[in-house]
Structure 1
């Protein structure tokens, strides 16, 4: 799928069979035997030569892949014809005896040349958009008789390069049909150069139907790392950023889905999207008709001023991107549209369902972009993304709410691993951080939906090191979830509480006491009788509590020491973390019982 930068120019490729054809025509005049057969060969070669010159006229503006393949096959047949005709020249007696030529040789040669003539006619037919022909050609050249898919793909890609807009839309749609659920066809489309003209069609801001057809085809191709990398290498990322900024909503939905799919399959491309600032238009689309100012005050002067400011920022960013586009290789895509419209009318006239679907797609794209990426997560927090996500969690039930929760889960996971991001985005006086935590707690307490509670609980756990000891409101709901009927929810609650009580948390002593005060020990003891994963994380949390609050009456009443001493050594051996924690926990509990306070 790699592009060979050392390939000959197309005019050089065509000059080789043209030179062979001219040599054959000269050699026919020198033939001393088989005059009639050589004359037929000359007639066939003359037709091929004329068609080669016709194809040469398209050089520089043609789709080259079928030309190179067919020219190579034609050259091979012409070499055979030249060898055969030269054997018919006047020779001495000995060479005539040694070199035996039969009628069968000429019959076979005529068949090969007929196949080359058919291939050349087919080649001219897919390029004849200026000669009254045009349209997508579905006939089969001889060269692809064993693999008709190849010739169809060639024809569709040629239509993308040279056809009228309606032909280009039809070709993109046909490529989508071929690519659906067939990885072999996807590979052929990519290998035969289908990506660049699809990106060019996507860049055409004057036809939403064309952009939709191109985005759909690219989405079907972008389901493995190699093809995703190819799309990115063909300047696909800046094209998508531009389309997200100034295309109709229907187009943006598909492009946001394409961004999510590409980011999911290639971490390098994911970071590339961040560098090209795809996050800003995604957040802007997500916040459309959504108030994302301070979550407490009602809509008023402050929010209006904010929207004026953010819209001005978007305009400046759009103008900057446009200037950069004019001075970059991306300008090669602008054959029809040298500038994009803002499609304000389309946005205002779209149905609520389309607007909602766009938000779902943008939220999913942000979720995938943030996954495992500190830099992308930081960009989301710097573009008012947290406030927007929090507001949508509050107001938009269903798939959009889930996608927003997953995005926050990934952002908080990145913040857990990066202290700088954690301090910048989730400082205690941040209105965005407060809004996020409020919505996470609301989901945990009020929505008894495990698929939503799980990312909310994980997010709170990731933020454990950002909470003060006096901010106990986040611990109570987590302790309540230890008794949840869904074992996954109970397990995630134990994991999250473990991040509050673990030694890496500066406030682990205070948090451990708070966890016990919320009556966590009884449900925690019940978790020890659950499945292996639940039992593991329950034991880890229990050890932390014993280490940091071993003098608690609740631990003594629940006979925690006996429970820890009764843990099967085989179970502890399977989990190195337990092998280390259990002896420490037992030691601390015994010391507290003996009146010794280890922490002093």
Structure 2
């Protein structure tokens, strides 16, 4: 029922209370008692009738109308006019029985007068909203919102964004953004229809200040999956991507932050952004000071066509025009459409080059953060980043930058490698052994692992190397040594992650598990691994798993015998009890190792955990 009411035209909504007002006036004329009170009711109703007709004229003449408060106020006015008809009709002369049943008192008229006064106040506030040049609608508190003053402010600001001048819209969007920092207000803004006018302001306003105000408010709203989904459903993603690719740097910073926020809270939004090709402008902005990113469509950074490509395009155009092939003609029309904006893009590039270094750094930080959030848990987005030559860009920034930019780039790499770990196609395409991008990434990951003393960066780099374990050939032992060294790291989390990464080299799922297991032992990995067994529960668990893999795939090693690994595995009962999924693995490793070595207690026998 409610949805059907919402679908009615606003003019139809307004016609009903106007009709009620006419009926009240007719009932007042027929009244035989309480004529003074009925006369006061008539005055109030006449004012409401005139105001309703004014609202009709304003709504029909305005280009954009914010209907939410109009419908709420009109609904309340209609209820009060219905009450007025009921009471006034009781004042008409009837037989004695009807007069006894329908008793009317002065108190009834006082109550009705208060209700009509409230409707008058609501209508005055509503008319004030339409007088956008006044600019004071947000200060007035309508009676309908007396129990929740924030509601009237939100209504006023949203209405101003709908119908105000550009300066008023900017001011209202900033005010709404300020309110949106509060969790409860976010919900009200969304429920009262604040998202569509903000997106419209973002899309249509040529003013960077307007775009900033709208983007900031949307950013505050987009920290909840349901609200992000609403922004997506209102077709916000293509608007955001378009503004990101063609606006001033301070606006691009805010847009990249909005992309990151939406991608963080809604996995489905990541797919929508990918479909709108948001990754290309993000990578381009991330590398705008370098010449790393080439345009895959045009084959040149600047977007200009080479002489050879222009000749080829002309040939294709001639063929398509002679054969009447509309479909084959359209892609080349898109090329010319894109080239028509090259001068504006060039201007934006020059503007970026002239920006302050801190602004450039902030832009790169937000773009890297957006790529990180887009790549998280997404094979398709990770593939898109690698296809735009993003890996090489990320590797270079990890090499020369520090702080948030370095971290965000590294975390993006970590997400891409995590996706590649479970997707063979991505692994083969992006991390081929002879790929310059893959080599650059691995070099930087190893540098972070070996040279830094920052657990956050080391852990991310270690996880990335572990995810790529199946891409390294047996001769690529340079990645094993740094991981083995970290088994002895003072930080338990770093040491544990190193053990997890080495497991991926030594596990049975890795085709080269035997070669990698021998390499781990040759890099003196057994002793620090034995020390991990004396650590906390998580460290013991990961250390024991790696030790089992080494026993299974390099069981005849003297280093395992010298370290008394068989004895350690036989004494692993407590860890196995805490993690019953380990029982079979430890049993296999112990029995296999017993073929080559003897423990300090039991000699050349198979061990079984009861």
Same fold (TM over 0.5): yes
Distance 1:253 1:46, change over 3 A: same
Query: Structure 2 vs 1, CA of residues 412 and 106 (structure 1 numbering), >3 Å: closer, same or farther?
Result: same
Contact 1:204 1:210 in 2 (8 A): no
Question: Which residue number corresponds to residue 578 of structure 1?
Answer: 582
Aligned counterpart for 1:126 among listed residues 118, 125, 129: 129
Partner of 1:564: 569
**Equivalent position SS for 2:33:** coil
RMSD: 2.7
Deviates more, 1:104-113 or 1:215-224: 104-113
Higher relative contact order (CA 8 A, sep 6+): 1
Question: Which residue does 1:336 correspond to in 2?
Answer: none
Match of 2:596 among 556, 580, 592: 592
Please name the residue that 1:158 is paired with. Answer: 159
Match of 1:112 among 98, 115, 134: 115
Q: Tell whether 2:384 aligns with 1:379.
A: yes
Alignment pair present for 1:487 and 2:487: no
Structure 1 partner of 2:23: 23
Q: Measured at CA, do residues 293 and 49 of structure 1 come closer, stay the same or move farther in structure 2, by a change above 3 Å? A: closer
Q: 1:577: how far off?
A: 3.9
Q: CA deviation at 1:96?
A: 2.0
Q: Which has the higher mean CA deviation after the structures are superposed, 31-40 or 395-404? A: 31-40
Give the C-alpha shift of residue 404 in structure 1.
0.5
Q: How many Å apart are 1:3 and its aligned residue?
A: 8.0
Secondary structure at the counterpart of residue 397 of structure 2: helix
Q: 1:259 to 1:322 in 2, by over 3 A?
A: farther
> Taking structure 1 as reference, are residues 231 and 293 closer, same or farther at Cα in structure 2, changes over 3 Å only?
closer
How far does the alpha carbon of each residue in 1:346-392 deviate from its partner, in whole angstroms, 9 at most, with x for none?
Answer: 32321111011000001011111111111111111111111110010
How far apart are the structure 2 equivalents of 1:170 and 1:412?
45
Distance in 1 separating the partners of 2:408 and 2:444: 14
- 2:207 paired with 1:207: yes
Task: Mark the CA change 1:84 to 1:4 in structure 2 (over 3 Å): closer, same or farther.
Answer: closer
Counterpart residue number, 2:314: none
Which secondary structure does the structure 2 equivalent of 1:33 belong to? coil
Provide Cα deviations, 1:456-483, integer angstroms capped at 9, x if missing partner. Answer: 0000000000000011111111111111
User: Separation in 2 of the partners of 1:322 and 1:44?
Assistant: 64
Task: Indicate the residue corresponding to 1:334 in structure 2.
Answer: none
Alignment pair present for 1:474 and 2:479: yes
Determine the C-alpha separation between the residues in 2 that align with 1:161 and 1:378. Answer: 40
Which of the numbers 446, 462, 465 marks the counterpart of 2:467? 462
In the other structure, the counterpart of 2:559 is 554
231 and 555 in structure 1: CA distance in 2 versus 1, 3 angstrom threshold: same
Match of 2:360 in 1: 355
- Distance in structure 1 (CA, Å) of the matches to 2:337 and 2:200: 18
Which shifted more, 152-161 or 92-101? 92-101
Whole-Å Cα distance in 2 between the matches of residues 242 and 538 of structure 1?
50
Deviation at 1:345, TM superposition (A): 4.6
Please name the residue that 2:326 is paired with: none
Give the TM-score normalised by structure 1: 0.90
Within 2, Cα distance between the matches of 1:293 and 1:524?
43
Who is 1:307 aligned against?
A: 301
1:489-504 pair list within 5 angstroms: 489-504=494-509
| Matched residue, 2:283 | 283
In the comparison of the two structures, how many residue pairs are matched?
567
Is contact 2:25–2:42 with CA below 8 Å preserved after alignment?
A: yes
Q: 1:88 aligns with which of 88, 91, 94?
A: 91
- DSSP-derived class of the 2:528 partner: helix
Question: Can you give the 5+ residue segments of structure 2 that lack an aligned partner in the other structure?
Answer: 310-329, 339-343
Aligned counterpart, 1:329: none
In structure 2, the CA distance between the partners of 1:306 and 1:593, relative to structure 1 (3 Å rule), is: farther
Deviation readout 1:303-338 (Å, 9 max, x if unpaired):
x9852469999xx999959989xxxxxxxxxxxxxx
Q: Which residue of structure 1 aligns with residue 243 of structure 2? A: 243
**What's the CA shift for 1:97?**
2.6
Against the structure 1 CA distance between its residues 587 and 3, is the aligned structure 2 distance closer, same or farther, given a 3 Å change threshold? farther
- Aligned partners of 2:172 and 2:293: how far apart in 1? 45
1:56 aligns with 2:59: no
2:510 equivalent to 1:509: no
Change (3 A) 1:5 1:25: closer
Partner of 1:140: 141
User: Is the 1:508–1:548 Cα contact (8 Å) retained in structure 2?
Assistant: yes
Within the candidate set 526, 540, 543, 1:538 is matched to 543
Q: Contact 1:245/1:318 (CA < 8 Å) preserved in 2?
A: no
Unaligned runs of 5+ in 1: 295-303, 325-338
Question: Matched residues in 2 for 1:460 and 1:114: separation?
Answer: 72
> Shift in Å at residue 215 of structure 1?
1.0
After superposition, the Cα gap between the structure-2 partners of 1:119 and 1:414, relative to the gap in structure 1 and judged at 3 Å, is same
